[in-house]
Amino acid sequence: MPNPLPTRRHVLAGLSAAALPAIVSPTAFAATGPSLRALAAEKGILFGSALSARISEAPYLDILKAECGLIVPENELKVYVISSQPDRFNFAPGDAIASFARDNGMKMRGHTLLWNKVEFMPKWLLDIDFGSNPAREAERYLRDYIKRVCTHYGDQIISWDVVNETIDPKTGEIRDTPFTKALGFDCIRIAFEAAREYAPKAQLVYNDYMSWERGNETHRKGVLKLLETLRAKNVPVDGFGIQSHIGNDGHIKEAQHEQWRAFIDGAVGMNYKLLITEFDVNDKDLPTDTAARDAGVAAAAKDYLDLMFSYKQLDQFLCWGMSDNHSWLQGWTPRTDKTPQRPTPYDAQYRPKPLRDAIAAALKAAPKR
Ligand code: XIL
């Protein structure tokens, strides 16, 4: 990422709006009214977004500067980026994002110290041999890794997704990984304890995707059980991050409001803070027509956010990207009609969409915390 980053004014001055009307028209991407950050702040909520170090388009970064008070690296603090080889630690991509956040007065979240899912571990880690005393060596490795990452970023990271997605949605049990093989549940405890030791000022979060649509009941039950166990064993966990990739698997119209409330009640009843860490709306089962689709996305978002913001324990809210062209869903779960997904508040030309209005409306309607 270039540093210092060009401002929107510089970019607009350097390009003719007539030549590139869809991308840089000055009126096109300015949302009217207060920023999402300001609307959220009025209610005691910190608003932000994920950002990938691969992105350098000034209009996109300008949206983040205008709207966000909080940034989380989309991939740059994951083990497969930091430590793609054994005993090698690459902080350069994460550092680029940390500089962007610092230069623009934004706070920063960290994602994630232990993504306890084999699909997201580098091959060398999957093949790791923890030797004749695997519990001791696995603990040593985990604590050392967490120490390196936490101390590298220090107090700049105000909140860490310490453990991510460790519950298997099919069984509701903890997933099998090299760490659970060596340590069982203890790998979760050790991760949080090490994070508390090496990032003593940061909020420590368990993060998982959690969906309110039909078909996610076993997952919810398993996560609640995990949250209970963490409390019973006095593991230092402050918050529960609900990723909130809503509209998943084409069940956007099958939200289970009552079951979802019971689930959230269960978590806040155990005294966890709540965070929406990765909000976007998968529009897979909405029609091709753009206006109809945007309306469906906005309605689903308003419905979901109204419920979530009614919980005063929720004080951080992040989108997983701010414009459709930079959404992970394009490659991850493409639509059958092959048109691009429209899951984020701004379109591919960086113009605000009805989803941005829905987010603003939900923030305006939220009670103060
Ligand atoms: C995704 C990123 O957006 C992609 O770029 C990457 O290829 C895979 O991971 N849950 C999480 C995030 O916790 O880390 C995931 O991010 C999205 C789902």
Q: How far is residue 351's CA from residue 153's CA, in Å, rounded to a whole number?
A: 33
Neighbours of 244 (CB within 10 A): 25
- The finding on whether 243 has its CB within 6 A of some atom of ligand 1 is yes
pTM over 0.85: yes
Closest ligand 1 atom, residue 207 Cα? 13
The DSSP H or E segment spanning 294 is: helix 290-309
Burial class (CB in 10 A: 0-12, 13-18, 19+), 86: exposed
State which ligand 1 atom lies nearest to the alpha carbon of 245.
18
Closest among 140, 147, 134, 136 to 181, alpha carbons compared: 134
Backbone angles phi, psi at 221, to 5 degrees: -60, -45
Q: Going by CA atoms, what residue is nearest to atom 7 of ligand 1?
A: 328
Per-residue pLDDT, 30: 64
Q: In testing the pocket of ligand 1, which one of 52, 55, 74 has its CB within 8 Å of the most ligand atoms?
A: 74
**Contact (Cβ atoms closer than 8 angstroms) between residue 356 and residue 346:** yes
Q: Ligand 1 test: best mutation among 112, 328, 341, most atoms within 8 Å of CB? A: 328
| Cβ(74) – ligand 1 distance below 6 Å | yes
The residue whose two tokens read 């155990």 is: 270
What is the pLDDT, as a whole number, of residue 158? 98
Query: Which of ligand 1's atoms lies nearest the C-alpha of 320?
Result: 3
Token duo for residue 222: 């398993």
Which CATH topology does 5-365 take?
TIM Barrel (3.20.20)
Nearest residue (by CA) to ligand 1, atom 5, is 328
Contacts of 74 (CB under 8 A, 6+ apart): 50, 51, 52, 111, 320, 321, 328
- The strand ranges marked E within 21-134 are 46-51, 70-73, 107-115
Cβ 139 under 6 angstroms from ligand 1: no
**What pLDDT, on the 0 to 100 scale, is given for residue 29?**
58
pLDDT for the residue 251:
79
Neighbours of 36 (CB within 10 A): 27
3-class DSSP assignment, residue 240: strand
**What contacts 348, CB < 8 A, 6 or more positions away?**
323, 324, 325, 340
How high is the pLDDT of residue 253?
A: 82
Where the chain has pLDDT below 70, the residues are: 1-30, 249-250
Q: Ramachandran region of residue 191, left (φ > 0), alpha (ψ -120 to 50) or beta?
A: alpha
Ligand 1 atom closest to the CA of 111, numbered from 1: 14
Q: Which residue has the CA at smallest separation from atom 10 of ligand 1? A: 209
Q: For the chain, give every domain's residue range.
A: 5-365
Q: Does the Cβ of 166 fall within 6 Å of ligand 1?
A: no
Q: Whose CA is nearest to atom 3 of ligand 1?
A: 328
Q: Sort 141 into a burial class: Cβ within 10 Å, 0-12 / 13-18 / 19+.
A: middle
- Pull the structure tokens for residue 41: 């702040």
Which pLDDT value is given to residue 23? Answer: 43
Q: Are 238 and 205 in contact (CB under 8 A)?
A: yes
- The verdict on the CB of residue 164 being under 6 Å from ligand 1 is yes
